[in-house]
Structure 1
Amino acid sequence: MKKTFYLIPLTLFSLALLIHPPSIAGEQARVAWLKIEGYISPATIEYIKITIVENLHDYDIFLITLDTLGGEAEATLEIIKIIQASEKPVLCLVYPEGANAMSAGTYILMACRIAGMAPYTQIGACQPVVAGVPSNDTKTINFLSEKIASLAKMNNRNESIARLFVTKNLVLGPEEALQKNVIEVIARSPREFLEKIDGWEVAVRDGKVTLNTGDSLLIEVGKPLKVQFMEFFSNPLISSILLAVGIMTLILGFTSPGWGAEVAGGILILLGLIGQGFDVNLVGLLLVGIGGALLVYEVLSHTFGAAAVGGILSLSIGIILMAGSPPRQQFVSQIWFSELITTISIVMMIISVFFGFLIYKAIQAVRSKPYLKEVPDEYGRAVDLLSPGVEGYVRIGGELWKALSKREVKPGERVRVIGRIRDVLLVEAVEEEKEGNEDNR
């Protein structure tokens, strides 16, 4: 009898839990506010993963605000997986007023449990873009339209309209999106958004929860240094500029002694390849290689003519192709792509003119070296390693000269001029104690 007495309230309590799902947070829910702005890349995945996966237990709800024209397909699909697998609600708001969640942004919006838009924002235009032209490949279109429709269905939204985002490049404002059941809320700010959804019931991976967001604590989650680094170098514009400047610096290094410029150029090239994912477009890479070879030939031949012009053009086109036709599929709007190509073209013109001038002046400096009528009886210092048959540079009289030595001379060693072969000096190492008055170091 006593057992039955205790079982009655326990049974009633269990039934209450089934009828009324648990609320998020007891007194005040902790809401993590993640800002996704600009190009969606592997850096965005890292930002989402660190916050939603690694720091899951620090927050009760995750709110993503979107302002993007699109990004990488692989990155977008990975973010969707993280959202779908989350044990806690992931909500989304297109914010601030006038912002966009185009293409990749719309896929992410559809994946979130509650979708909202601020006034004067837009979503849609999800047709994939290849080399600046919307792709009409049936296989790709069918996959993407079904993908976005399944996301809409998962969150009880209009599947037909979701498909039109891909097949017809449909674009909607907040009022139309709400009317057509593509979003649930129109809100001017994240705080207003949270107040409007207070008490709503949403699905998560393991069931349903009731949101307690009326007086929630909204915590803006900053981007760690690692994410900021990845975000900067994953930007197609930045990576293209780094590659261009790196190659130009590398070539410029061939016209001057030492290895400083060559090392700097190599580092810039490696950093630029981060944005390309080390899987660059083959044609663009080939053009870059041809352009670099032509410019190296120009430096060595000292002609400053067709090879220089051809090299700069080939290099510029190759860089644009590598940024414009990346091997990874893109979920971007055509507007974003056009702006990217225009910006890269302008920047490449400026860089090409600047480095072309530097290379020209370097060649001019080499040509303008005075021809030695007499062998100067002067001392200097080796800049490069000199060995039999291998030319290097020495500093004499405050100027750099090409030089040869019958014996090995290490950089920094004191040398004396003993002869010449045309404009190449013949030098030999001298002991420090044999120095005269040093004024040429």
Structure 2
Amino acid sequence: MGLVLLWYGSTFAWGFGVSALGRPGGAPGAAASAEAGSPAATSPRLVVLMQLEGAIGPASADYVRRGLALAAAKDAKLAVLQIDTPGGLDTSMRNIVKDILVSRVPVATFVAPSGARAASAGTYILYASHIAAMAPASNLGAATPVAIGMPTPGRADPKPGGKDNKDDKSESGEQRGKSEKAAEPTADAMTAKRLSDASAYIRSLAQLRNRNAEWAEQAVRESVSLSAQEARAKRVVDYVAQDVADLLMQVNGRDVEMERGSVRLATQRAQLLVFEADWRSRLLSVITEPSLALILLMIGIYGLLFEFSSPGFVLPGVVGGICLTLALFGLQMLPVNYAGLALILLGVAFLIAEAFLPSFGVLGLGGIAAFAFGAVLLIDNDVPGFGVPLWVIALSSAVSALFIIVVAGMAARANRRPVVSGVTTLVGTTGELVEFADGEGWAHIQGDYWRVTGAGDLYAGRRVRVSGVQGSALQVAPEGQESAAKV
């Protein structure tokens, strides 16, 4: 688990939001931060470039929103969103689309560099943009929404070799109709709902931007894809460009329809402001990684457990509280399956109970099983990049079991260890009465004064032996008499 955290830490530490100004296709201009108000940054011909790579999630949506806000603040002529994504979360994708639709600056989505893709959620973003472009050897499509347990759209081959049921003589048409009708209200109904919603959404975007709506719906319902040249021929994208500089040259002078009216792009010899992700976006990207969120959740729970079981260490409680807070923040931004989260918490409870109850391993095995199943079901989405890998689940389960075994072993050894402090350790020791009257008094025992009670021939100055503890007082008896009684 330490190696996993080290890997995520190095990912977070990579780069901190440095932006640069330069001329597309030429030598770089003067370097500047995206937040700096330099003369170049306020040039009348400024283009803001955002680079989005990997799965689309909450961090991606936050990055695009702030990039478009920067472009509007700088009065940029165009905002270029360069993407290379396998897809992502539906909620994050829709947030990006909403930001593009209300943007005050024209947005050009560019699938680049060569070999990049705009699959699934990337296709919706491409369709929502004012200008759509692709680099050679790139592709887009496969926009079918997926989720855990959702069957693949389309009709599956019911028999080996792809034969249809109508060729099966053992089943009548009436029986086939009944079986199909019985299956419709279950998974097929949910599939139809998802497909209808997604296809209507992308069709509305295609109609808004005057792009090929038929192919867009086909990409959703049949998961088809297109290369850059094919997309250009089918009116799915507007341009095929080698790089950002080539794209800016091609779109120069184009009229773009905005909410405020038609806008003519002036991108020739424009300066390029690269808006890179800052520490906030990188932190959000790291803690919304499902694997790390799960690890932080476990560290938080076990840190607090260790602090509560052994008060005074402070550090485990502080680290546990911080990790638990970060984990809950990351999970609330992800499509969490609460049944999976409940199984994880139940598994942790079983493992903790195993450390204190003599269940002979039953609670421990049940806790590991519940934790593993919960981790598998934790993220309610089958989007690439948003699942918890099996090796992380196995490692977390093993570490949890090891932690509980160590804690249980420490507790067992502590129970077997003889008591070395407290008033009970004074039983059997001897001392001298300082004063005694009416069955109680004070005695000097083991270098300290104790309130004592007793019966018999007891008086100040007599040697006594502690025979027991009664409340806050020690029970004593004359030293010689107790010895005689024992004999």
Considering the TM-score relative to the shorter chain, is it more than 0.5? yes
- Who is 1:5 aligned against? none
Counterpart Cα distance in 2 of 1:223 and 1:125: 27
Counterpart Cα distance in 2 of 1:256 and 1:239: 26
- Who is 1:127 aligned against? 144
- Who is 1:268 aligned against? 323
Higher mean alpha-carbon deviation, 115-124 vs 136-145, is at 136-145
Counterpart Cα distance in 2 of 1:191 and 1:77: 28
Higher mean alpha-carbon deviation, 249-258 vs 219-228, is at 249-258
Per-residue CA shift, 1:309-338, capped at 9, x if unaligned? 221221122122122x16xxx8x4xxx16x
Q: 2:56 aligns with which of 14, 37, 40?
A: 40
- Who is 1:246 aligned against? 300
State the TM-score, normalized to the length of structure 2: 0.64
- Who is 1:298 aligned against? 354
* Aligned CA distance change for structure 1 residues 100 and 375 (closer, same or farther; 3 Å): same
- Who is 2:260 aligned against? 206
CA contact (8 A) 1:243 1:268 kept: yes
Q: Quick check: 1:100 aligned with 2:100?
A: no
Counterpart Cα distance in 1 of 2:326 and 2:43: 47
Paired amino acid for 1:364: G
Q: Percent identity?
A: 30
* Aligned CA distance change for structure 1 residues 184 and 374 (closer, same or farther; 3 Å): closer
Q: Secondary structure at the match of 2:231?
A: helix
Q: Secondary structure at the match of 2:114?
A: coil
Counterpart Cα distance in 1 of 2:378 and 2:114: 34
* Aligned CA distance change for structure 1 residues 316 and 264 (closer, same or farther; 3 Å): farther
Counterpart Cα distance in 2 of 1:344 and 1:253: 30
Q: 1:49 aligns with which of 53, 65, 70?
A: 65
Q: Displacement of 1:304 after TM fit?
A: 6.5
Q: 2:134 aligns with which of 101, 117, 132?
A: 117
* Aligned CA distance change for structure 1 residues 197 and 126 (closer, same or farther; 3 Å): same
Paired amino acid for 2:80: L
Counterpart Cα distance in 2 of 1:35 and 1:374: 65
Q: Displacement of 1:367 after TM fit?
A: 2.7
Superposition pairs of residues 96-245 of structure 1, within 5 angstroms:
96-131=113-148, 133=150, 134=152, 137-245=191-299
* Aligned CA distance change for structure 1 residues 268 and 319 (closer, same or farther; 3 Å): farther
Q: Displacement of 1:228 after TM fit?
A: 2.4
- Who is 1:316 aligned against? 372
**What RMSD in Å do the two structures reach over aligned CA positions?**
3.2
Q: Secondary structure at the match of 2:88?
A: strand
- Who is 2:409 aligned against? 364
Counterpart Cα distance in 1 of 2:93 and 2:326: 23
Q: Secondary structure at the match of 1:108?
A: helix
Which 5+ residue runs of structure 1 have no aligned equivalent?
1-24, 378-418, 427-441
Q: Secondary structure at the match of 1:45?
A: helix
Q: Displacement of 1:252 after TM fit?
A: 4.9
* Aligned CA distance change for structure 1 residues 72 and 27 (closer, same or farther; 3 Å): closer
Per-residue CA shift, 1:84-103, capped at 9, x if unaligned? 12222110101222222111
Counterpart Cα distance in 2 of 1:55 and 1:95: 20
Q: Quick check: 1:281 aligned with 2:337?
A: yes
Q: Displacement of 1:230 after TM fit?
A: 2.0
CA contact (8 A) 1:302 1:363 kept: no
* Aligned CA distance change for structure 1 residues 40 and 125 (closer, same or farther; 3 Å): same
Paired amino acid for 1:292: V
Higher mean alpha-carbon deviation, 241-250 vs 80-89, is at 241-250
Aligned residue pair count? 347
Q: Displacement of 1:159 after TM fit?
A: 0.8
Larger radius of gyration: 2
Per-residue CA shift, 1:202-246, capped at 9, x if unaligned? 222212222222311111002233322222222233223322333
- Who is 1:4 aligned against? none
Counterpart Cα distance in 2 of 1:244 and 1:370: 27
Which 5+ residue runs of structure 2 have no aligned equivalent?
1-40, 154-187, 423-465, 473-487
CA contact (8 A) 1:199 1:212 kept: yes
State the TM-score, normalized to the length of structure 1: 0.70
